[in-house]
Structure formats: structure tokens, C-alpha cells
Amino acid sequence: MTVRRSAAALAATAAVLCAAAAPAAVAAPSPSPSAALPSGLYGTNDPTYDGVWRQSLAFLAQQAVGVTPAAKAVDWLTGQQCDSGMFAAYRADASAPCDDKTVADTNATAVAAQALRAIGGHQDAMANAVGWLKSVQNEDGGWGYTAGSPSDANSTSIVIGTLARAGERLDGVTTHGGKTPYDALLGFSIPCGGKDGGAFAYQPDKAGKLAANGDATAAGVLGALGKGLVVADNAAVKDPACRKGSPLLPEQAAQNGAAYLATALAKSGHLDQPPMPGAEDSEPQPDFGNTADAVVALAAAGHKDKAVASVTWLKKNSAAWAKQAGPAAYAQLVLAAHATGADVHDFGGADLVSQLNATGPAPASVTKPEPKATEEEQKDSGDGEGIGGLWWFVGIGLAVGAGVGFLISGRRKNQQL
């Protein structure tokens, strides 16, 4: 999740890409004035490392709450795709063909494919992206940040979510050695019993040891559940617990990860990010993006009740962060609110949907939320037989019943999530 695109991690990601991927591509100069950016692009910050990511995440959040993005915004995203089906993080000149210097970004490709499915009408582009992802699967069954790089929990998880959204059977996406995506993902799960049991590691260290990573755990929970980045509001179930298993099943690994997140969030309501190298302040700072992702993961695992305090914390504290970080941050908050039933139009006093929409071109359409009846209005409706009474509503229901089928049919055609 946010280790792929968070403001705190972008510097580290850029360093990795510059050192190990394709220097000529990532060393491209940043577009200085915002006016130089494409008119269809969301956000005004330098898109070199997250253009496709933030655009796609914005689309997913908008579609989840009834907003259809502008045609030119969608055209910008589809125009970023290479002929092979993959996406780079950002191509300033999309008219130039992709070559061996174009950084093959699995995360950008996976999130773009999910966004294209949500928007609808781009089945070929999505299929090409999925085909490319399958073609660059590592021998351990997973995916790395860039094609061919060592597998990590985050990249493997988002690709799993994309494959699942595309209708792929994950047990059928195998390597020549018969490894599946879950073989790789479960290899990042820390066994129960220790301090960090249940968590996912981003990658093993040089000695092969796994270190708990909150962001990788949030991603790992979604991946192990076979879910994409958009999660519906689910009812809470029993308390999460870390349980040993041999072999560990994906569902159990997800529940173990949820147990770790619930414990981590219970301390302060939020996850922390380690200080950046060389920073004067060595104290851990709150990690807004990873906290939002953890909320989504808990909801996906059926434990949204364990995320209530975190949602409250985000409502009180995330405004400044989201304003600075831009569209991806607003999208993360929208997805966290959507997954837990929080009001996206009154999130600590902020209308997240309006704020997200304002970071890009005016949407093609916006579904306005229906006003909630006040307590007095609810009393007035009563159970009587006059206007607003029970039998009046029954009569209206019978009258429009025939039209409901057409309405539902139409909505299903547009419903992508």
C-alpha cells in the first residue's frame, strides 16, 4: 500500500530505482510549474514516481462513492499504458514508445488495471495489463516492485488483488515450478508466537529474517483475502487472533495479519513511520497513509470494530497531511471511510469527495448523497395511513415496482466494484 507510493517512502523508492532499475528513466527532470503537467492528471506535485498510482487510486475512490471521472482524466491514464500492457510510474511523453529504459512498474500496472475495471469500458487495456503481470511473475510465485526484482509482500498483494478482480483463478497463475502467488505471499508471514507474530514483512533481510512491517501487513491481509483496494463495509465478527497453522492457509494468514494490526493500532490509534535517514528528529511520526490502509485491511478481514479508534484519529488529524500529499491521500481516506461506513462527506468536518474531486479535472458526474431524515421528520412519517405513513409507502412501492428492475439492471451495468 503506502510503502509503494507514500510521500515518506518515495525518496527511498527513487533511490532504489536509480540504483537498480533504469537510471535514465527515473532521473528525468521534474516538471517544475504545475501548468506543465497534463490537464487530465490529478494533483500538482511532481508525478515522476506516482503519476499513474495517484490517478488510479483517485479513480477507485471516486467510483466507490458514485463519482465518474472526466473523460480526459481517463484518457490520460489509458495513454500511459505501453504496448506490452504494462505501465510505468509516469511517462511525461506518452507518445514516445516504451523501450528497455522504461521502468516496468508492477504496482502502477496493477492499480491501473483495477482502476480501468472500476471505470468500465476498457476491457482490452485491463486484459493487456493482467497479461503482462502474469508474464513477469517471479519463480517464487510473487512479484517485485519492478519486473524481475525480488518479490515483496506489497507488490505481490496488489497483483493478487488485480488478478482476483480480473476473474483469474489464483491457483492457476503458476510458475514453471508450480508456485502460486500465495506461495510467495505466505512466505512473508511471520509465524505466531513471537512479539510480531502474524505480521507480514516487506521482504526478508540479507540473513533471511522477517521483520514486521505495518504497511506490508495491511497489504498482505488484502492479498491473502484475494481482495482489491476497494473494500465494502463489512459487519464485524469475533476478535482477531493469531493462530498457528501448518500449512498456513491464505485466510488464516490474513486473520493473523489482522490480529497484528488490531494490536498495533490499539496502542495509539495509528501506525508510526520510522524517521528518515539523517533526520534530526529521531522520534517515530504518525503514518497517516498506512493507518488508513490498516483500517481498510481490518474491515476486509471482518474486524472494522477494531478500526473505530483509528477512523476517529484520522478524522481529527489527517486534514493537513491529505492537503499536502494530494489525491492519493484523499483517496486513501475515502477508501478507509467507505470500508467502515464512515461519512465520506463529513469526515471530521471535511468532505473528502469534494476535496478529492478538486485535485483533478471536474468529474463527468457526481452522485449526490441523499439527505438523512431528521429525528423529527422520522417521527412525522409514523405508521399512519396519510402521506408519509406506512400504507402510503406500500402503495408507492407497488406503483414503482415494475421500474425497479430496470433501475437495478442499469446500475449493475455501471457497477464495477
Element (H, E) at 204: none
With residues binned 3-state (H G I as helix, E B as strand, rest as coil), the percentages for the chain, rounded to 5, are 50, 5, 45
- Both 252 and 395 in a single domain? no
- Both 348 and 378 in a single domain? no
- Both 78 and 9 in a single domain? yes
- Both 385 and 253 in a single domain? no
- Both 204 and 331 in a single domain? yes
Three-point CA angle 324, 329, 332, nearest 5°: 165
- Both 12 and 159 in a single domain? yes
Please state the domain count of the chain.
2
Tell me the sheet residues that pair with 146: 105
- Both 165 and 308 in a single domain? yes
The torsion defined by the Cα of 334, 340, 343 and 346, in degrees rounded to 10, comes to -70
pLDDT in tens, the chain (417 residues): 443 444 334 433 444 444 433 333 333 334 444 448 999 999 999 999 999 999 999 999 999 999 999 999 999 999 999 999 999 999 999 999 999 999 999 999 999 999 999 999 999 999 999 999 999 999 999 999 999 999 999 999 999 999 999 999 998 999 999 999 999 999 999 999 988 999 999 999 999 999 999 999 999 999 999 999 999 998 777 789 999 988 899 999 999 999 999 999 999 999 998 766 666 766 889 999 999 999 999 999 999 999 999 999 999 999 999 999 999 999 999 999 999 999 999 999 999 999 999 999 999 999 877 655 444 444 444 443 333 443 433 444 444 344 434 333 343 334 334
Tell me which residue range forms the domain holding 33.
2-367
